[in-house]
Amino acid sequence: MAIVVVSTGRAIPPRRVTNEDLAALIDTSDEWIRSHTGIGARHIAADDVASSDLGYEAALNALQYALDQGLVAEKSLKSLIETIDLIVLGSSTQDYYSHPSTACIVQNKLGAVNAAAFDITEACSSFIFAFETARALLGAGNRRRALVIGAEVLSKITNWDERETCVLFGDGAGAVLLEQKEGGGGIIRSVLGSDGSGWEHLILRRGGSRNPWKKGEVVEQVPAIEMNGHAVYNFAVKVIIKTIKTMLDEEGIELHDLDLIIPHQANGRIIQAAGKRLNIPEEKFYTNMEEYANTSSASIPIALDECNRSGRIKRGDLVMTVGFGGGLSYGGNLIRW
């Protein structure tokens, strides 16, 4: 049996904030942001939009695409939704602290009454971890279809006064419909890894059991992402190289067998540095951080959807995802599309 990608979708908030827009508010410039990151703009969700709203929209978009393209036998959205056995949602910005899971909120909005729904929280690596979790659960038993979603409203955990971090992030969501089918191909293997010694390099300190809110406390600053940019950068280059090499070696394939690599869209320089070390031509990597910035767990599924719909990825192509994030964590998936 194979676990194959049936369809993809995405949700991008309409409000587009350019580097120039940010330069009008804080001490930064389009030139600095582009030259240091490759980012040109980001999309920011409205105040009343949470991750589940974007995750729901992306999931619906993937399901509608499956119906429109005749990729499933079902003829109505309702009948298709009722076949979903699992919803696995990756996010660093869940709707609610601790519970309920954002996946449960999406399940309710969709009316996916037959799906078990849960979140994976592994920062920017969440989608890669969620994808492998769904693959393993579909492969293990009597489940046929899974929605894997990456959904973020990072704008709500960003310190908009801190130029070192606020220029990097954006909001959005992507979704993939997976199905268990007879035959080969689909998700071939994944690499998942963690290095907890770097737990403090990317962190949202407040709100958990280590630093709970205290009665009567006055909040001076919205809890926001804190980051050791250099440490994350060095880790990212190292683990991208390691993940790509591991997947190629374990599968016994060469770089030229890969049609496309979809990296986590954090920083173009990270991708260039890793690519240079592995002798991978730049065009082998798909990048879209110029338009969306770093959308954490949403960056890979948004890119997958763009490539799928534009024909950049075609049936039968060999596609690799690779990413890294807080934890610190890293991983990748190898997919015969």
Counting residues that bind ligand UT7 (by CB under 6 A) gives 19
Instruction: Give the one residue of 34, 36, 206, 312 binding ligand UT7; rule: CB under 6 A.
Output: 36
Using rule CB under 6 A, residue 160 touches ligand UT7: no
Query: Residues 62-101 vs ligand UT7: string with x where CB under 6 A?
Result: ----------------------------------------
Phi, psi of 152 (to 5 degrees): -145, 140
Using rule CB under 6 A, residue 271 touches ligand UT7: no
Instruction: Give the one residue of 167, 258, 302, 322 binding ligand UT7; rule: CB under 6 A.
Output: 167
Q: Closest CB to ligand UT7 among 83 and 287? A: 287
Selected catalytic residue, list 43, 201, 264, 308: 264
How far, rounded to the nearest angstrom, does the alpha carbon of residue 176 sit from its chain's CA centroid? 11
Min separation Cβ 259 and ligand UT7, Å: 25
Q: Closest CB to ligand UT7 among 258 and 266? A: 266
Instruction: Give the one residue of 227, 293, 319, 328 binding ligand UT7; rule: CB under 6 A.
Output: 227
Window of 25-33, 47-55, 145-153, 304-312 that interacts with ligand UT7 by CB under 6 A = 25-33
Using rule CB under 6 A, residue 37 touches ligand UT7: yes
Q: Residue 332 corresponds to which amino acid?
A: G
Q: Using DSSP bridges, classify how beta strands 84-90 and 145-153 pair: parallel, antiparallel or unpaired.
A: parallel
Selected catalytic residue, list 19, 294, 308, 333: 294
Q: Is 124 annotated as catalytic?
A: yes
Using rule CB under 6 A, residue 302 touches ligand UT7: no
Torsion of CA 198, 125, 222, 57, to 10 degrees: 180
Instruction: Give the one residue of 7, 8, 28, 243 binding ligand UT7; rule: CB under 6 A.
Output: 28
- Written as six digits, the tokens of 74 are 């079902």
Q: Is 294 annotated as catalytic?
A: yes
How far apart CA 113 and CA 6 sit, in angstroms, is 20
SS3 label, residue 39: coil
**Whose CB is nearest to ligand UT7?**
229
Closest to 172 in 3D by CA, of 10, 38, 64, 289: 10
Question: Within 13 A of 130's CA, how many CA atoms are on the CB side?
Answer: 34
Selected catalytic residue, list 19, 61, 104, 124: 124
Q: Is 142 annotated as catalytic?
A: no
- For residues 194-217, b (16+ Cβ closer than 10 Å) or e, as one string? eeeebeebbbbebeeeeeeeeeee
Residue 184 CB-density burial (10 A; 0-12 exposed, 13-18 middle, 19+ buried)? exposed
Angle of helix 299-310 relative to helix 126-140, nearest 10 degrees?
70
Using rule CB under 6 A, residue 124 touches ligand UT7: yes
Site residues (CB under 6 A) for ligand UT7?
28, 32-33, 36-37, 124, 163-164, 167, 227, 229-230, 232-233, 236, 266-267, 294, 325
Active site residue ranges: 124, 264, 294
